Structure 1
């Protein structure tokens, strides 16, 4: 049985009332355009105009009717999903609210070095941190465990652990002025950009200095950061000048993932065990999406595993009305298959196979051939190409950082509100049926049906046909209601399913995950 929480949902502020959403968005879009194009802007005047126009919009919105039939429920969910997609453009961004946002404080992990040494033996040996990647993994571990999203780390993109400055934008974000979050974000971004320019100015100056007396405060700060690298200061500064990057802290996002993940991890672990794969691999969604099933990247990746469309179609049903990438469990089966395939192709090396999740097996084979090594640490340190970019070269380090943070999370995070679990069974449809008829016969509310089967949201909205043999997920009651149209099956099991008999049309699916 798969455990999924019905009541605990992602901490996202949904837009209620599609008319309000569209009208408000139109107003803000126009004002944002004005804000960007006007040469001089009086912020108080802009805020006053925005507030007045928003109030006008609110006055035109009718109060929604409380009683909703099935079609109205579906329409309401579709409107909320549309608003969610507009507010959640990628897996890396949080949903924005205009209210001042108070998030957990950044923290120092007292036992950091012992954790990175896996002092409690919580992690399989094959995922221990390679010595030549220790600093890189440590950087990402700190991003997930120490720095919240109000901290912006100005650092070296080639040597990420070389941090020039940590900019705290909390005073800007956690305030009620300006009133709208997007304006506060712009102000925070401007502040960070200013500090980046100061860092670059200091690096440029250091690269031309003949002596290092009477340094400015910025030059001293930058030179201290570069002191952790070998070589002449001038050369190090010149190289760093073209490799300055900003990384947002992720501690609060990671904690949200910790809270949501108990809904999925037990089932995911059993799926991976059925494929004889290490359960450590199931922590990859912490990197890809923080277990945000609504996550959608700017390039079209979707779901907690962030499958692209073409890759998804290789392992799942991805059509105009059915998208199994959004089902955490079906996508986990696909992920197990893909990771196992990568592992077999790439010398049975998990560092290479996991990096190939981001960079692709052909790209990894090219890197291995050019560097004449299977050692990912050496490849990351020395290999350069247009496609083996920051994301690819850091992907395995991000995974290890997330893995160690999750395994030792009880030592690191406080006040984690774990999601509760719900028993779900996976069954197979024995005939074609329209999505709305399936929903109606299940006796589930539209919200619960789509919670269990997010891959069928569009099918329900379009009333598309759900084909015979399609796998759906049901609780005990809804499975009983659908006995006449389902045959037994078990998600992730590599075994034959007994044929239904007249006496027993549905055989109970074997447990997919037990209690946590």
Structure 2
């Protein structure tokens, strides 16, 4: 959760003939090798939520005073591509100095050099003081990456919404995944957060999610169940979705202390207050605005994008291992395709994949549906072999 990704759901209607098209013409250099099959996107369905915790029609309305901040992130997600960026004030993101064009620059070093040059020009031409110069921040555009994120979301978002509905939580909250990880199941942060919900190790510990062989933070559905519990706990503590969502990034206890210290439960006031903002990092100050921007762009996707595709769900079948197996045994059920095996099973750790640790019995793995019976027969043979050895 400390790892700050920004991403969103975006969409548009496509012709049926487009469902089988090659994604490389839409997402150049970002096409997943595994299962490029596409399907029609549909708008989100937020109906029948009267029993959802803390829900009403205005539960996720933009708080007064945050309009410009939210619009900034809408532009990041739906206006500027990753070949562009915004130089802005980090304390007031809506204060934009210049849009930087990175088109034609191939290496990160070339891009950074260009950004630094423009920063220097702004500081000199506008006579920025030391504090203003320190606040000069670069934000990369995300438009093309958001299209890729919505493609990946097609594999999981409907099942995630089902989990949230079962937990009686607003399904809008599932869109936090786009802020956390852009639906990249391989998302890992330097500070230890992992998976699509970017759950930290200390957060996962009470749920016993991590072992040497299995890290359930990286399993999209296991992580979603945990995130639902965390968000429910946040809301019960803070009694406000803006505060509870912010608490997912900043920590609910920290947010609770701020509401008491500054005698306010208004997220906009807490973000804008000069004293309280010292307690927020850039990510925490902008987390709720990013989430609201995701909702806005998704809702009006046809306004912002020409074409957005959903991936079909992975044709997977879950299987609870009756015996422990090696990773190489699992890969056989994927016809030797390691990448495919990892996309189906992102919860298996480096120890399993690279160091030879066995996948423990009772671990739930996913295999291609057409290989399910083959896997069962193979596991049956392994079980009889283990029994005879005893």
TM-score by length of 2: 0.75
In 2 relative to 1, CA 410–314 (structure 1 residues): closer, same or farther, beyond 3 Å? farther
Correspondences of 1:176-187 after superposition (within 5 Å): 181-187=107-113
Asked which structure has the greater CA Rg, the reply is 1
Correspondences of 1:37-186 after superposition (within 5 Å): 124-170=57-103, 172-173=104-105, 181-186=107-112
CA contact (8 A) 1:164 1:199 kept: no
CA contact (8 A) 2:30 2:148 kept: no
Q: Using the alignment, how far apart are the partners of 1:437 and 1:328 within structure 2?
A: 23
Output one character per residue of 1:162-198: Cα deviation in whole Å (capped at 9) or x when no partner: 212222232x52xxxxxx6244224323333323423
Provide the secondary structure at the position in 2 that maps to 1:263: coil
State the number of aligned residues.
334
CA contact (8 A) 2:181 2:195 kept: yes
Correspondences of 1:266-277 after superposition (within 5 Å): 266-277=158-169
CA contact (8 A) 1:200 1:241 kept: no
| Backbone CA RMSD of aligned residues | 3.2
CA contact (8 A) 2:102 2:111 kept: no
Q: Using the alignment, how far apart are the partners of 2:110 and 2:150 within structure 1?
A: 28
CA contact (8 A) 2:318 2:366 kept: yes
Provide the secondary structure at the position in 1 that maps to 2:320: strand
Name 1:380's counterpart in structure 2.
Answer: 271
Provide the secondary structure at the position in 1 that maps to 2:190: coil
TM-superposed deviation, 1:305: 1.7
Name 2:312's counterpart in structure 1.
Answer: 420
TM-superposed deviation, 1:283: 0.9
The answer to whether structure 1 residue 402 and structure 2 residue 294 are counterparts is: yes
Output one character per residue of 1:19-38: Cα deviation in whole Å (capped at 9) or x when no partner: xxxxxxxxxxxxxxxxxxxx
In 2 relative to 1, CA 483–402 (structure 1 residues): closer, same or farther, beyond 3 Å? same
Provide the secondary structure at the position in 1 that maps to 2:347: helix
In 2 relative to 1, CA 250–195 (structure 1 residues): closer, same or farther, beyond 3 Å? farther
Q: Using the alignment, how far apart are the partners of 2:94 and 2:325 within structure 1?
A: 55
TM-superposed deviation, 1:397: 0.5
TM-superposed deviation, 1:325: 2.4
Q: Using CA pairs below 8 Å that are at least 6 residues apart, which structure has the higher relative contact order? A: 2
CA contact (8 A) 1:8 1:419 kept: no
Output one character per residue of 1:265-321: Cα deviation in whole Å (capped at 9) or x when no partner: 111111211211111111112112221222222323222222222223333532333
Of the three residues 174, 177, 201, the one matched with 1:309 is 201
Provide the secondary structure at the position in 1 that maps to 2:111: helix
The answer to whether structure 1 residue 355 and structure 2 residue 251 are counterparts is: no
Q: Using the alignment, how far apart are the partners of 1:169 and 1:431 within structure 2?
A: 53
TM-superposed deviation, 1:386: 4.4
CA contact (8 A) 1:452 1:473 kept: yes
CA contact (8 A) 2:185 2:195 kept: yes
